């Protein structure tokens, strides 16, 4: 999808706590723990801390890159599904979930796995799982 590539089109590179919707560290106590704990809901701050070696700047950048890509990914996933392009749909969802896993957005990753399994089994539950995936994307954007 592009959120793992620095400088992809449409990304201005300006990652701040303000445009992430979370508070900046105050300087009181452990600023790393405070900044990581201010990661938006839906993202696992402890996992982000482990993945980034407790580098707050990198954790915030990963979250920002994923959030920058979510609207386009949401649109493309829905369009591929609506157009019956199941292989494209699965590929898009897989790429999105890979980035989500690095950001600690595990619910998104888990929904993608369930959706792929449902599609592979020709399960009628795929539509409900797609709606759940889109709802999770929307929650990560809030």
Per-residue pLDDT of the chain (142 residues; tens, 9 = 90+): 333 334 333 334 444 444 444 444 444 445 555 466 678 888 888 888 888 888 888 888 999 999 999 999 999 999 998 898 888 988 998 888 888 888 889 999 999 889 888 888 888 888 899 999 999 999 999 8
Q: Which residues contact 68 (CB under 8 A, 6 or more apart)?
A: 3, 10, 11
Q: What are the residue ranges spanned by the domains of the chain?
A: 17-141
pLDDT value at residue 89:
86
In order of 1, 49, 65, the CA distances from 9 in angstroms are 11, 27, 12
Cα 70 from Cα 62, distance rounded (Å): 12
Q: Which residues contact 64 (CB under 8 A, 6 or more apart)?
A: 15, 19, 20
For Cα atoms 77, 100, 41, give the angle at the middle one, nearest 5 degrees. 110
Cα 20 from Cα 56, distance rounded (Å): 13
CA-CA-CA-CA dihedral for 82, 83, 86, 92, to nearest 10: -80
Cα 59 from Cα 34, distance rounded (Å): 12
Which tokens in the block code for residue 14? 């300006």
CATH class of segment(s) 17-141: mainly alpha
pTM reported for the whole predicted model: 0.70
Task: Tell me the helices (H) and strands (E) count for the chain, helix number first.
Answer: 7, 0
pLDDT value at residue 21:
43
Which tokens in the block code for residue 117? 């399994």
């Amino acid at each position: 999808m592009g959120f793992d590539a620095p400088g992809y089109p449409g990304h201005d590179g300006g990652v701040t706590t303000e445009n992430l919707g979370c508070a900046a560290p105050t300087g009181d106590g452990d600023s790393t723990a405070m900044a990581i704990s201010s990661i938006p809901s839906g993202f696992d701050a402890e996992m982000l801390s482990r993945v980034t070696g407790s580098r707050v700047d990198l954790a915030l950048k990963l979250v920002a890159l994923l959030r920058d890509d979510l609207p386009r990914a949401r649109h493309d996933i829905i369009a591929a599904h609506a157009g019956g392009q199941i292989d494209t749909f699965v590929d898009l969802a897989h790429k999105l979930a890979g980035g989500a896993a690095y950001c600690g957005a595990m619910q998104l990753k888990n929904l993608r796995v369930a959706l792929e399994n449902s599609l592979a089994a020709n399960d009628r539950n795929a539509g409900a799982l797609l709606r759940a995936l889109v709802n999770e994307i929307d929650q990560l954007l809030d």
